[in-house]
C-alpha cells in the first residue's frame, strides 16, 4: 500500500526521508499518471519552496503531523498567487489575492501542496465530466469516471500521487468520488470547516473536507482544518473535539441503523452485497445493527435539485464580467457585457442549474418550488433526528453503483443526478458522513457510507477506523 500520512510523518521525523524528496516523488508520480488528468495546475516551484521550509521545521523539531506531507487542493479553494479556476472557463485566469481558510490552516500545519485538482465546473456534477479542462479518470479503470465533483482529488489519492487531498461536498462530492476510487472521504458537519475562500456553489449545503487513504489519515487532516473562522458567518463557534482521542472508542455497544431506504431498487446487486458484508463485519466487531427507515429521503433528490440550483443561481450572479473572471470582447452595452460574458464563461451544466434556480426563485413559482423544497428539507432533517434517538450511526451504500463509464450519463442530466440519491439528504440535514472502502463489485470499489449526528465526527472516524483495523479494503490499490 502507498504510505499514508502517519507512516510518512514517522519517516520524516526519523529523517529517513526529507520533505523535498517526498515532493519530488509526488511530482514524478503526477507526471507518470498525467493520463488521469487529476490536476488543473501543478506549481512545482511553490511545492519545492514549501518542502524546503518543512524540512527546516523538521530540523528544529517544531513540526505537526502534516509537516512535509505532500497533498493537493481541490481547485475550488482560493490560493494566493496560484490560479484558482473552479474548472470553469469563467475563472480560467483567476489568480486570487488571498488564501482560503482551509488553505491557511494547511499552510500553518506545513503540509506541502502540489497544486490544484480537477473537478466538475463550480462543483456541479457527479462524474468530473463537467470540467472545462476535460474529465479526470478513475485509476481503477481509465475508461470510467472517478466520480464528482471532487474527482481529481479522488483520482490523485487513489492513483498514488498524494496521500490526501482537500475536497468539498455539497451533495456527495467528497463521498461519491471516494467510493468510486476506493478511498476514504470525510464530509464534516456543516459549519465545522471554514467556507472562507471556498468558491460558493450552494451556501447552505457547501462543506469542505478531505479525501485520504484511511480514516486515520482523515482524522489528522480534519484536526488541522476544523475550527471556527469569524470570516465565515456560518462557521460554528464551538471547540474542536480531540479526534485522535476519539479513535480509541471501540465498536462495542455501538448501535448502527441500517437505512433500508438506501438499498432501494436503484442500487446494484453487487454494491448491496458488498455493503451487507461490511455490515456483518461491523457486527463481528461488536456493533449492533438495527433496520431503520428514513422515509422522506425519497424526496431528497427533488428537494436538493431545487435548493442547490436556487442558491447557485444567486451565488453565481457575481460573475458579471466587470470585477474578475471572463469578460466578452467588445461589449455593446452593460447588459451585453453581462450576458455574453456569462454565456461564454459558464459550461452547459452550470447554465442549466442557473436557469433551473432562476425559475424556482422567480415570481409565481417561489412558493411552489423553493419554499416547498425547504419544508421537505425539514422533514428530511427530522427523519435523521428521530433515527438518532435510537442509534449512534446510520449506514448504507454511498452510491447506488460502482464507477460508471465516461460518457455513460452525460446525455441525461436526470440519470447523472440519480448518482447522488444516497448522499444529498446528509447535506440537506447538515450532518457529518464518511465513505469507507467496503469491497468490490465487478472489480470496482464499493463505498460504505456512515452518517453521524451533527458534530459527532469523532464517533464517525472511530467507527471507520476500527473497521479499517479489521479489514484491508482501504489498502487495496489499482495496478499501474
Partner 1 sequence: MAIDHATVRRIARLARLSVSDADIPPVADELGRVLGLADQLAGADVTGVEPMAHPHEQVLAWREDAVTEGDRADAFLALAPDARGGLYVVPKVIE
Residues tagged active-site: 74, 149, 173
Q: Where are the alpha helices (DSSP H) in 255-333?
A: 269-284, 300-315
> What span, in angstroms and rounded, lies between the C-alpha atoms of 19 and 109?
13
Residues lying near partner 1 in the complex (CB under 8 A) = 94-95, 97, 190-191, 204, 230, 233-234, 236-237, 296, 299, 301-303, 305-306, 313, 317, 320-324, 327, 331-340, 342-343, 346, 351-352, 354-356, 358-360, 362, 368-369, 371-379, 381, 413-414, 417, 428-431, 454
Which strand ranges, in their side-by-side order, compose the sheet holding 112-117? 39-42, 112-117, 70-74, 164-168, 208-212, 184-187, 433-441, 444-451, 393-397, 255-259, 288-292
Q: How far is the CB of 305 from partner 1 (least distance, A)?
A: 6
119 with 153: CB under 8 angstroms?
Answer: yes
Asked whether the CA dihedral 210, 211, 216, 221 is positive or negative, the reply is negative
3-state secondary structure of 270: helix
3-state secondary structure of 166: strand
Q: How far is the CB of 222 from partner 1 (least distance, A)?
A: 18
> What span, in angstroms and rounded, lies between the C-alpha atoms of 359 and 368?
11
Q: Of 13 and 352, which has the nearer Cβ to partner 1?
A: 352
Q: How far is the CB of 301 from partner 1 (least distance, A)?
A: 7
> What span, in angstroms and rounded, lies between the C-alpha atoms of 278 and 192?
28
Q: Which residues contact 351 (CB under 8 A, 6 or more apart)?
A: 343
Q: How far is the CB of 211 from partner 1 (least distance, A)?
A: 22
Q: Of 164 and 319, which has the nearer Cβ to partner 1?
A: 319
Q: Of 55 and 169, which has the nearer Cβ to partner 1?
A: 169
Q: How far is the CB of 74 from partner 1 (least distance, A)?
A: 21
Q: Of 180 and 319, which has the nearer Cβ to partner 1?
A: 319
Q: Where are the alpha helices (DSSP H) in 330-444?
A: 334-345, 348-361, 372-387, 413-417, 424-429
143 with 112: CB under 8 angstroms?
Answer: no
> What span, in angstroms and rounded, lies between the C-alpha atoms of 308 and 246?
33
Q: How far is the CB of 126 from partner 1 (least distance, A)?
A: 14
Backbone angles phi, psi at 257, to 5 degrees: -85, 125
CA-to-CA dists, residue 386 to 1, 299, 323, 379, 383, angstroms: 40, 17, 47, 10, 5
Q: Of 262 and 319, which has the nearer Cβ to partner 1?
A: 319
Q: Which three cell numbers stand for residue 21?
A: 524528496
Q: Of 53 and 228, which has the nearer Cβ to partner 1?
A: 228
Q: How far is the CB of 368 from partner 1 (least distance, A)?
A: 8
Q: Of 23 and 416, which has the nearer Cβ to partner 1?
A: 416
Q: How far is the CB of 320 from partner 1 (least distance, A)?
A: 8
The 3-class SS string of 438-464 reads: EEEECCEEEEEEEECCCCCHHHHHHHH
Q: Of 144 and 340, which has the nearer Cβ to partner 1?
A: 340
Peptide bond into 149 cis (omega under 30): yes
Q: How far is the CB of 153 from partner 1 (least distance, A)?
A: 23
120 with 129: CB under 8 angstroms?
Answer: yes
3-state secondary structure of 186: strand
**Distance from the Cα of residue 387 to its chain's centroid:** 25
Q: Of 75 and 281, which has the nearer Cβ to partner 1?
A: 75
> What span, in angstroms and rounded, lies between the C-alpha atoms of 135 and 131?
6
Amino acid at each position: 500500500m502507498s504510505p499514508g500520512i502517519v507512516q510518512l510523518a514517522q519517516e520524516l521525523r526519523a529523517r529517513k526521508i526529507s520533505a523535498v524528496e517526498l515532493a519530488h516523488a509526488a511530482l514524478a508520480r503526477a507526471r507518470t499518471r498525467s493520463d488521469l488528468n487529476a490536476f488543473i495546475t501543478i506549481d512545482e516551484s511553490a511545492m519545492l519552496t514549501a518542502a524546503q521550509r518543512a524540512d527546516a521545521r523538521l530540523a528544529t523539531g517544531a513540526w505537526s503531523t502534516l509537516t512535509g506531507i505532500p497533498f493537493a487542493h481541490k481547485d475550488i479553494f482560493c490560493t494566493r498567487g496560484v490560479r484558482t479556476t473552479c474548472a470553469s472557463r469563467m475563472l480560467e485566469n483567476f489568480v486570487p489575492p488571498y488564501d482560503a481558510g482551509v488553505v491557511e490552516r494547511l499552510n500553518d500545519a506545513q503540509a506541502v501542496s502540489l497544486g490544484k485538482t480537477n473537478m466538475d465546473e463550480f462543483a456541479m456534477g457527479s462524474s468530473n465530466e463537467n470540467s472545462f479542462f476535460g474529465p479526470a479518470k478513475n485509476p481503477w479503470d481509465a475508461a470510467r469516471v472517478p466520480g464528482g465533483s471532487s474527482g481529481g482529488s479522488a483520482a490523485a489519492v487513489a492513483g498514488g500521487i498524494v496521500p490526501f487531498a482537500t475536497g468539498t461536498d455539497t451533495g456527495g462530492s467528497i463521498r461519491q468520488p471516494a467510493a468510486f476510487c476506493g478511498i476514504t472521504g470525510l464530509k464534516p458537519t456543516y459549519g465545522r470547516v471554514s467556507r472562507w475562500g471556498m468558491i460558493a456553489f450552494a451556501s447552505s449545503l457547501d462543506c469542505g473536507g478531505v479525501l485520504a487513504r484511511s480514516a486515520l489519515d482523515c482524522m489528522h487532516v480534519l484536526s488541522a482544518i476544523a475550527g471556527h473562522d469569524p470570516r465565515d458567518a456560518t462557521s460554528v463557534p464551538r471547540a474542536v473535539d480531540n479526534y485522535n482521542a476519539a479513535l480509541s472508542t471501540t465498536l462495542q455497544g455501538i448501535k448502527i441503523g441500517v437505512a433500508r431506504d438506501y438499498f432501494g431498487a436503484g442500487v446494484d446487486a453487487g454494491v448491496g452485497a458488498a455493503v451487507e458484508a461490511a455490515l456483518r463485519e461491523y457486527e463481528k466487531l461488536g456493533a449492533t445493527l438495527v433496520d431503520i427507515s428514513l422515509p422522506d429521503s425519497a424526496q431528497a433528490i427533488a428537494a436538493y435539485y431545487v435548493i442547490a440550483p436556487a442558491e447557485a443561481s444567486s451565488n453565481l450572479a457575481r460573475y458579471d464580467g466587470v470585477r474578475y473572471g471572463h469578460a466578452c470582447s467588445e461589449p455593446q452595452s452593460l447588459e451585453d457585457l453581462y450576458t455574453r460574458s456569462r454565456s461564454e464563461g459558464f459550461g452547459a451544466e452550470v447554465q442549466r442549474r442557473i436557469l433551473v434556480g432562476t425559475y424556482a426563485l422567480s415570481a409565481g413559482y417561489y412558493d411552489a418550488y423553493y419554499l416547498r423544497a425547504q419544508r421537505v428539507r425539514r422533514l428530511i432533517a427530522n427523519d435523521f433526528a428521530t433515527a438518532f434517538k435510537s442509534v449512534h450511526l446510520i449506514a448504507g451504500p454511498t452510491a447506488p453503483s460502482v464507477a460508471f463509464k465516461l460518457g455513460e450519463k452525460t446525455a441525461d442530466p436526470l440519470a447523472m443526478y440519480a448518482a447522488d440519491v444516497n448522499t444529498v439528504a446528509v447535506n440537506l440535514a447538515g450532518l457529518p458522513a464518511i465513505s469507507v472502502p467496503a469491497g468490490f463489485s465487478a472489480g470496482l470499489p464499493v463505498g460504505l457510507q456512515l452518517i453521524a449526528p451533527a458534530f459527532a465526527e469523532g464517533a464517525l472516524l472511530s467507527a471507520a477506523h476500527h473497521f479499517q483495523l479489521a479489514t484491508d479494503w482501504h489498502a487495496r490499490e489499482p495496478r499501474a
